[in-house]
Amino acid sequence: MRASRIGIALGVVMLMPLLHAEEITVSRYIDEDTDRIPMHTMVPIYPEVARRDRIEGQVQLCYHIDKKGRPYRIAVRKSTHRVFEKPAKHAIRASTYKPLKAGEKRSGIKTCRTFRFELTAVSAENGD
Amino acid sequence: MIAGPGGFARIAMNIARLVFLSALILIGSGVPVLADQSDEGIKTVLGPRNPRLADGAEALLDGDAEKGIRLTKLGLAVAQGRRERQAGLSNLCAGYVMLEQYETAIEYCDTALEENDNNWRALCNRALINIHLGDFTAAESDLVRGEALAPYARSLKVVRGMLLDATDPVQPNIIIDDRRDPDANDES
């Protein structure tokens, strides 16, 4: 059922990524029945040029995950703007999944992750 | 609309970067020239035509605004031609921006633009000052003129972004979607 695949919206969390000096909102969606469980998820930086020029877009990356939970053979599957590809790839490289247990076999299926880069208007009086 | 404190913090952060770009105009005044070789004993020297103007701009690039302004003023006093004068005035404008003396800076920008109203760097600097002074209408006007003259200039894009941040600030939002069907309804 498609509805069951929609998964859990983990909600909106506010965090201050070390690489970015400003507040950034991060939302996350994941299937309940995922093959590999994400452990450490790196949030990509919003490219300064894209933020400055008010560019939004999305990048879908597909990759394999090794036994230790490290992504490899990362490839861009879909991209609306090249400016987002580098930070998205960097974020995948720095992310990890739960390692496989001894004897546990990999499915061999590629995992894909989509990053959507959006800009939300905030009131000028409140600043950011 | 008024920019919040965060907006101005970003503006301040970008000022140094912008001044850096503006000061590059100095390179134009540093055109290597060949000395006259008709007389024996005269050496051929490659270097800037107006060393003080060049050194002043270099100091500005290094972030030493006071030294940059002092040398640029000395260079401006012996400036040859309109181009050198314009470069000097534009760099003085940038230097005073670095010192956060915006009223003085805008005077030099105005003078540079009186001499040549097609000086997009001076327009860019003045737009930056106007953003800082809260005159967003004047900043928009300068930017529109500057963008018409130099549509691909990076420093103009930076100042345009700063104006947008001041008038219409945005917050980045990143969505990480691990679903097999990422086009599914996000409001689930």
Q: How far is B18 from chain A (nearest CA, A)?
A: 14
Rounded to the nearest angstrom, the minimum Cα separation between A99 and chain B is: 18
Regarding predicted confidence, which is higher, B17 or B182?
A: B182
B28: left (phi over 0), alpha (psi -120 to 50) or beta: alpha
* Cα–Cα dist B184/B188, whole Å: 8
Model-level pTM? 0.68
Q: Using an 8 Å CB-CB cutoff, list chain B residues near A128.
A: 4, 6-7, 169, 171
Q: Does domain A35-117 have CATH number 3.30.2420.10?
A: yes
Q: Tell me whether residue B96 is in a domain.
A: yes
C-alpha distance from A101 to closest chain B C-alpha (Å): 22
pLDDT of the residue at A123? 78
Q: What is the distance between the alpha carbons of residues A122 and B167, in angstroms, rounded to a whole number?
A: 10
Counted residue by residue, chain B has a size of 188
Q: Which domain holds residue B148?
A: 12-32+47-167
Q: Do A7 and B179 touch (CB under 8 A)?
A: yes
Determine, yes or no, domain membership for B188. no
Flag whether residue B188 sits within 8 Å of chain A, measured between CB atoms.
yes
Number of domains observed in the structure of chain B: 1
Chain segment B156-174, per-residue pLDDT in tens: 999 999 999 999 999 999 9
Q: Long-range contact list for B8-13, CB < 8 A, 24+ apart?
A: B8/B132, B8/B166, B10/A22, B10/B162, B10/B165, B11/B131, B11/B132, B11/B162, B11/B165, B11/B166, B13/A21
Residue B175: inside a domain, yes or no? no
| Spans of all domains in chain A | 35-117
* Residue among A9, A53, A115 whose CB faces B174 most closely: A115
pLDDT of B6 higher than 50: no
Which chain B residue shows the shortest CA-CA distance from A92? B176
A51 contacts B161? CB cut-off 8 A: yes
What does the longest C-alpha to C-alpha distance in chain B come to? 86
On chain A, the residues whose CB falls within 8 A of the CB of B6 are: 22, 127-128
Q: Which of A108-112, B16-20, B71-75, B151-155 comes out lowest in average pLDDT? A: B16-20
* B interface test, pick of A16, A98, A128 with most B CB neighbours within 10 Å: A128
What mean pLDDT, rounded, does chain B reach? 79
Window from A20-24, B127-131, B179-183 with minimum mean pLDDT: A20-24
Label residue A10 by pLDDT band (50, 70, 90). very low
Of residues B170, B178, B185, nearest to A31 (C-beta): B178
Contact assignment for B174 to A44 by CB distance below 8 Å: yes
* Opening angle at CA B99, ends B93 and B103, nearest 5: 55
Neighbours of B40 (CB within 10 A): 5
Instruction: Give the domain CATH number at B123.
Output: 1.25.40.10
Beta carbons of A22 and B6 less than 8 Å apart: yes
* pLDDT tens digits, one per residue of A71-100: 999 999 999 999 999 999 999 999 999 998
Per-residue model confidence (pLDDT) at position A40? 93
Of the two residues A87 and B47, the one the predictor is more confident about is: A87
pLDDT in tens, B84-128: 898 899 999 999 999 999 999 999 999 999 998 899 999 999 999
CB contact under 8 A, B178 and A30: yes
Question: Which residues 138-167 on chain B approach chain A with CB closer than 8 angstroms?
Answer: 157-158, 160-161, 164, 166-167
CB B182 within 8 A of CB A5: no
